[in-house]
Amino acid sequence: MPTWFCSRQWLDSVGKFDESGKGVPEDLLFFYEVIRKGGGMSRVDRCLLVYRYHSEAATHAVLEETIWKERVGFLEERVLNNWPSFTIWNAGKQGRKLYRCLSAANQKKVVSFCDVDQSKITKGFYTYEESKIEPKPQIPICHFMEARPPFIICVKLDLTGGGFEENLNSLKLKEGVDYYHFS
């Protein structure tokens, strides 16, 4: 479970948690405000604390969809609004969900989906059937080797026995410039 720490100075600078009610992802909103104000992150690949869940924890009151919407909004604000175009890496469920949740302006910037699944690639495109636009948007699906950066990657790490990571590394891209993970 990812977690984060900040100094008391940052806490005082950013302000208090938004505790406006049950179902508010106050820690996520606070974290985003830290980033907006210039805070940074460092990855630590070892356990620094043990967190104990209990049935009355506020965490259980926050809907997954609420967190998803906040994450998509922040991705658009900090990354996608600055890119003229991009590719979504994953033509599956998560990639399509991300596409559907994007603003209309950012949906128009999606040049393709990319994947390794030959059945998705052979289909050739994803049709956004729920769109109110006519004709329905159709986004090409190509093999990751044919796709062009920048990428929003909707593939979870460590799920493919290293296959995904190997594919990504083969492109010699720079995280935070050529791609961002969103999974």
Element (H, E) at 89: strand 86-89
pLDDT of residue 59: 64
Amino acid present at 29 = L
Cis omega (within 30 of 0) on the bond before 150? yes
Spans of the chain, pLDDT less than 50: 1
Closest CA to 141 of 78, 87, 101, 81: 87
pLDDT of residue 54: 72
Q: pTM (2 decimals)?
A: 0.86
Residues whose CB is less than 8 angstroms from the CB of residue 99 and which lie 6 or more positions away in sequence, other chains included: 88, 107, 110, 113, 126, 128, 139
Give the C-alpha separation, 65 to 4, whole Å. 22
Give the C-alpha separation, 152 to 6, whole Å. 27
pLDDT of residue 60: 67
Residue 163 in tokens = 């296959």
Q: Where are the domains of the chain?
A: 1-62, 63-183
Residues whose CB is less than 8 angstroms from the CB of residue 6 and which lie 6 or more positions away in sequence, other chains included: 14, 34, 39
pLDDT of residue 43: 76
pLDDT of residue 5: 74
